[in-house]
Structure 1
């Protein structure tokens, strides 16, 4: 039995009365603290036109976080390839790897991660990458790092390849990651019903590669850990309310204070939606979170867990990661020690 590596997925959450500067400064402080706590990596997500999230430019934020820390791996969770030319991504992450060798992860996703109007502003088209187009653009991206393009010398990408991951919330990227022999990260935090089937597809289609000899699967999960179950659910309230409004009203909103979220007049249907949202995640005291994450590991066989903690105050976010480190992590083990990117 070996300890399960733990990492952090950070969205630079912005409270309603905070600025983007506040959110990004908080993310920087969090990165420093989780490095001290021994987390393996911190990834930042690419989201656009979402008032509650300030991480719309992963490459820029990764550069800052890597410069503000010294040992923790820093990466994208992820870069949404439909929004960018592969050459641009290769040049950005080649630069990051050249500046911070051995510390950069490039997590790549197939979805645009935003609404159609914003997609049009980003890409000048609302058409995402097709099932046929995404694998080729991914190969183009990898090729720039490995010097496979005879016409374009992608300086400084060539020879500076970060660790490349595929991200997914369904079976498509799982199968592709397996066929290419890449590590795979699944978005259990917003697509829990698809987690086990996708990981089964990944492992069934896995072929040894230059990157991995065995499959390596990481699962991203919502975690809010506090001294009691009641306080953890209270702290999780703003995130639950923001998710509810996004899914039912279509317009994302910034995080409100937890007391305001607790006073929201949920209908029975809305309450059921929120309860379903947290059912397969990890919210509670250290004892509760340990049980929930142990169950998740048993169901998924994950090689690594990536925790995302969306709460209103930075101090509560930091405290959640501290409690996980002190009281939860020592009890999380796995039977097989897989290849570790």
Structure 2
């Protein structure tokens, strides 16, 4: 009787090749699955992240104009460009004394300070056909010079509509959507030719909380605020989504908190491209501004007494980190869990983190 071998017989060459091919396929399947999962994760992240609009510079950066600036004085115009840059604005409205003059030097000066130039011209009530043609020729020349926008005012409805139509024709030939036109509110919606570059100017005091969720209306509006406006409304204006037109005076310096707030607006899409949620029907001074995963609280105390604003909001409990305050001594970075103490006439901008 033969004895069994102590060691099993080595596998045949065919069996070895089978297991080698199987291992290779399993390794390949693992790496392919891993690559597919990474691609799916990237797609989901990209879909969940909504990038700020890249062409709406006039929403990210505030426009400013100087009410007491001498008309056409190039030295003062250049000084206003530098002042707008130091303040943190992104564009400045200037008025040309001569419709036949070039704006190329002003545009070049603006590029040095990262400031866009918009031209503000007022039509007279006696504007006739020849003057309308002069305006058309000036608009065509200024667009070629690189002007980023125009602000129209004065005149009668027919003359303004004629200029608006010529602007539409000229701007349609310009690539991109970098140029804007500010129209007087009284002109009505007939002049807002369903184009994002035509904006109606409205005083910020006309802002209504129930209009906040109508993003299309907000984005087509340029909110006007001047240095004479109450400080709390100035703060509210700079934190509103859309376009802000800030009127300044060379003889009345802006508040010290305005510049850092303008710079902060540029860095937070929730302020210039988000949507608002009012927290009280009786007050326009406490709103949430949302953009993606970011939620900012805009809290303003317009009274002459200190107030505590609770952070236990309806269906929303959060802790808050102070980003900015108009009150000296209230530095950014402070955390609050239950409520925020607001000094008289103080405004705060806070980033909220939901609590589970």
Q: What TM-score does the superposition give when structure 2 sets the normalisation length?
A: 0.45
Which structure has the bigger radius of gyration?
2
Which is bigger in relative contact order (C-alpha 8 A, separation at least 6)? Answer: 1
Q: What TM-score does the superposition give when structure 1 sets the normalisation length?
A: 0.46
Higher strand residue share: 2
Higher helix residue share: 1
